[in-house]
Structure 1
């Protein structure tokens, strides 16, 4: 059994993810829900059976083991369970990803739409990778299967339920087309990527300890526990189970400071670090498949007047990165505080707040979702609406400012009052 041994790191736990279409740009909760997708990424779920007796290791040594891991080949099965404490997205998932677009140029296999579904519930995945240019992720849903396949400069997404495919490639100059990566570039796609993101900066705001061992997917692992030293964060702790042999994170669990079940519980149930079969990364659309080319979809969205990213005005200013990644921000964004308590303040163009129901700018389903999440608040800053989940909270003021972070609603109100 490994002993407790701690180091300190400057773990920021804020993050954002923005969607892609016109109508949804008004919906602040989508940015909140998007963080869930950014948080889970493609990190896989729980399969532990007993605690192995392993040599002692310090937290610093275990962090270094993660950083030094060079395992780029694997295949296996994974599960992701997410409980943000928000109403079911249901049919809104497509609206969040597609923004309620007309459907012209859109595809039921568009990765931006399908990845939103990982923001809630439990999902089973089959995953495989052979270096940075060959990856496959399949989301299993009963008899249906949704797969994302990257093989060199070719990327395919296929939904067997709708028999639709989405295809992107690189042109001859090496310039990437609008290619549907499995998840946005800012989203970690493996447990290792997420762990590195949380641990990438050193400082006094985070406690990191080794807290015993575990058996994950038939492999021995050490448990690295990461906790904020600050109060006011919605994050209670993050536990990463690290393969004792090759340093690959096998499981990721995020517990909220409010207590209760995990917000994210994700890890491998089966994993093999051998070279996957080459056939895992090949794809030919079945006969009768409706194929959408990424460039054609982009051109159609442009013709429709879609600006692309932006769930709400000013969302483009949010920095890339999921949990633990700093929000660098744009000209209309600044970061208040540091570490786990950092809050992004975004000024929306024109100083416009959330559209009202009377304005007719918000679809009925979206308004219902907003009403379920939002609480009216007021203070020195004026008035606004707080949108809450178990992980990330956002305050949008009536004069068009957004405060968002993995902090309590009270912390958001305080930040808004201090900025007034």
Structure 2
């Protein structure tokens, strides 16, 4: 059978679209892709080895295949490699019940803590799912293992390093619904799989994007098509996204995001082995090991609520996500497509720069602050005033002197242009 030749999809899809097709390729803000790259995550040898001969398929039909895929049972190993140009990050996230140094007794087992650890370096995950009521994700490190298990009305998080188990209520109660995505697992760790990353990327398919089928590959022993996604907008820092799609069932098996600057992938997530058979029921059974410290996550959340009310960190984050914070919560999005930028209005005080920085440098200890900021950020000026741009290989952020933040997977000049336009 013939090998697949590139089939481009750009500037719209042409003709009428079915509701399912519209859902698959609807316009979406690729800031979500940047967010997933920032938190979240050479997996299988990068599409090395044989390239299977598969029936020719168009990009539209391959995207539709992904959208129609309804595989709910699988188990396997996922390798996550993230290289954003950041130093390796220690675990810790102060902002959720049990999260961070001040988060409570369950801090070491909090899912948000593990999310931060996935933001750099390479990690191995063992995953399993059996419908919406049963999922398991284990992060395997050299000296310890972290497991998150959802089984019916219960969710367990266990950190073998600290021998701490965090028990929470699964979806069904109001608290469960507020703090978890459909399917039981916290939203943070759901972004660590090829399926979820690919779906976020495919939301961007539209007139700002070129989508092609770029040959075939073997991934985790499975025949796959390679879907190549490239931004058309010059200001984007994303060079390309490559998604390996299972030729049989449409499940994304591998997700690779390469920056425009080149080099190693910024985010590389994919299965090294996968099985679509029903996992054993014992996979989702969890009993805290003997001697483990068991923490009631629901009780910790309730305690934080009583002590801090709406000022509790997790309440603030929930309000922002639901658009209920100050000025309707979270960031405002400006621009479109791959050059979308999230903005957070400042309160009048930002990082020192310009004359303030010159003064700081002449005042002893303040000079240390100035030297540090100079080493990690570039001073910039415009009609908006002045500020600093902090860069990674993929995501850049401009912090103005008045504290306003502009952040996105865009280059420095695009951030400055956005700040000037918003003045």
SS in 2 for 1:215: strand
- Aligned residue for 2:280? 277
Q: Secondary structure at the match of 2:92?
A: helix
> Are residues 1:335 and 2:354 paired?
no
**8 Å Cα contact 1:15-1:405 kept in structure 2:** no
| Residue 249 to residue 202, structure 1, CA distance change in 2 (3 Å) | closer
- Pick aligned residue for 1:14 from 31, 38, 44: 31
Superposition pairs of residues 10-409 of structure 1, within 5 angstroms: 10=27, 12-15=29-32, 35-38=37-40, 40=41, 45-47=43-45, 48=47, 49-90=49-90, 93-95=91-93, 101-170=101-170, 176=176, 182-184=185-187, 188=191, 190-200=193-203, 202-302=205-305, 305=308, 307-309=312-314, 317=320, 330=328, 333-348=331-346, 350-354=347-351, 373-409=376-412
Tell me the SS of whatever aligns to 2:63: helix
* C-alpha displacement of 1:403: 0.7
Name the SS of the counterpart of 1:353 in structure 2: coil
Q: Secondary structure at the match of 1:12?
A: coil
**CA root-mean-square deviation:** 3.3
2: CA distance between counterparts of 1:144 and 1:76?
19
Q: Output the TM-score relative to the length of structure 1.
A: 0.81
SS for the counterpart of 1:274 is: coil
Kindly provide the CA deviation profile for residues 123-174 of structure 1, in whole angstroms up to 9, marking residues without a partner as x: 0111100012211111111242110101112100001111001111148756
Larger radius of gyration: 2
Residue 108 of structure 1 aligns to a residue whose secondary structure is: helix
CA distance change for structure 1 residues 178 and 290 in 2, over 3 Å: closer, same or farther? farther
Structure 2: distance between partners of 1:338 and 1:278: 45
Structure 1 residue runs of 5 or longer lacking an equivalent are 18-31, 321-328, 359-365
Larger helix share, 1 or 2 = 2
Aligned residues: 381
| Displacement after TM superposition at 1:418 (Å) | 1.6
Shift in Å, 1:107: 2.4
Cα shift readout 1:82-121 (whole Å, capped 9, x = no counterpart): 000012223xx31556786435344211111112100000
In the TM superposition, residue 229 of structure 1 has moved relative to its aligned partner by 0.8
SS in 2 for 1:194: helix
Q: Against the structure 1 CA distance between its residues 125 and 172, is the aligned structure 2 distance closer, same or farther, given a 3 Å change threshold?
A: closer
Higher relative contact order (CA 8 A, sep 6+): 1
Tell me the equivalent position of 2:16: none
Q: TM-score, normalised by structure 2?
A: 0.80
Distance 2:259 2:197 in 1: 17
Could you tell me which residue of structure 1 aligns to residue 15 of structure 2?
A: none
1:362 is matched with: none
Q: Structure 1 residues 187 and 3 mapped into 2: Cα distance closer, same or farther (>3 Å)? A: same
Counterparts of 1:299 and 1:164 in 2: how far apart (Å)? 19
Q: Which sits farther off after the overlay, 141-150 or 235-244?
A: 141-150
